[in-house]
Amino acid sequence: MALYDDTLSLLRELISNACVNDFTPDSGNEVRNADTLERFFAGTNVRIQRFEPHPTRVSIAFTVDGSDPEAEPLTLLGHTDVVPVDESLWSVDPFGAEIKDGKLYGRGSVDMLFITASMAAATREAARRGTRGTLTFVGLADEEARGGLGAKWISENQPDAFSWRNCLSETGGSRVGVDGLGVNVGEKGAAQRRLTVHGDAGHGSTPFGKDFATVKIGEVARRLAAFEAPVLGDDLWSNFVRSFRFDDATERSLIDGTGDYTNFGRLSAYAHAFSHTTFSQTVLRAGSAINVLPSTAYLELDIRPTPGTSDDEVDEMLRTALGDLADEVTITRLISEPSTLSPTSGPLWDAIVDTYGDLTPGREVVPVCATGGSDLRFARRLGGNGYGFALHTRERDLAEANSQLHSHDEHLYLEDLDLTVQAYDSVVRKLVG
């Protein structure tokens, strides 16, 4: 109970520090949460490293050196920044860390400060008793803005600061299918694109006979909206579908991509994103003056490729979708990052499965792929394994857990905090001793 109480107290302070990342370099101020974490570890035998690539954007690592240099290491990657809030749409103070009806309210309570606090508590306990393998907990800045001043910066500038071989981060352990436990073993990539078209310039008063860039970009948008990429045909997707225990015909149709995704209920959007490279039209620009025909228009796309899909294959999908318009559209690559995937085998995976077996006996562990991004991709790129790990009660399915991410009145069930603290303490003991 003391471990849970300490974790809850730490979590409330992390929330109240309001380390809001608005995607500008001078926001975040994660130094506040770094200082809180350093006080939390006061008096324990840990090595502390601070990373500050930009003023106040502080990441902090706490390492418990193991007694056996040959033993498996473990690194816990928790981020300390949170996304902005619209306070007018909250019924409580978003940084008040208020508890009511068994729930803790606050920005970041679910994404991901409850996991970060659990990691810190499990690491402090390990430091007090000693470990065989080396254990590191890192409170990372700037995850919400893709890690440029956090995990990405460390992986590129100080990659040897700690081990990336076995890493845990957000998120997992909510119900998938009938009674499975989802574990993120990978995440989709990023293939952002700008599609540019050209037309005739001229005065708005004489439109006759003009080739309108705005009309052309509208047709580009329509064709993209009608396009669907091929379904992900691998075991990851097939096993996810099977966890729902549909009848045979429904199962086959969903695995091959011809079925009705509403069969997944509240997880229909997630299931579709999981199984396809997705194209979201997010930015449209044309013109500046109301009486001038713009000669250029562009559309920007947030494209999330499935594992194994290359940049060239993404561009070919776009050309297929555009059809006879393809030669009139310039495709510009913006941010491009490959998808990443870890195996469902090895010492860390076994420790995860054993932990879930101890705490929630009889439940199947279902590997899933995150549709968004996390700091785990940097571990995988450096040759390590990374898994999303937490634990929720049976009542909390993946749809409900995901619904709290970046939401108004974001809240965490305290029973899920209790389970996650136990899960991290267990997996640390199993892997590093």
Query: For 187-234, what is each residue's pLDDT tens digit?
Result: 999 999 999 999 999 999 999 999 999 999 999 999 999 999 999 878
Residue ranges of domains in the chain, CATH in brackets: 2-186+340-432 (3.40.630.10), 189-337 (3.30.70.360)
pLDDT for 400: 85
Averaged pLDDT for residues 343-367: 96
Q: Work out whether strand 74-79 and strand 166-169 pair parallel, antiparallel, or are unpaired.
A: parallel
Residues found in the chain: 433
pLDDT for 354: 97
Strands (E), 135-228: 135-140, 166-169, 172-176, 180-187, 190-198, 202-203
Please say if the pLDDT value at position 406 is more than 90.
Answer: no
Encode 94-132: b = buried (16+ Cβ within 10 Å), e = exposed.
bbebbeeeeebbbbbbbbbbbbbbbbbbbbbbbbeeebe
pLDDT for 64: 98
Averaged pLDDT for residues 154-178: 96
Three-class secondary structure assignment of 310-365? CHHHHHHHHHHHHHHHHHHCEEEEEEEECCEECCCCCHHHHHHHHHHHHHCCCCCE
Per-chain mean pLDDT for the chain: 96
Q: 115, 78 in Cβ contact below 8 A?
A: yes
pLDDT for 413: 96
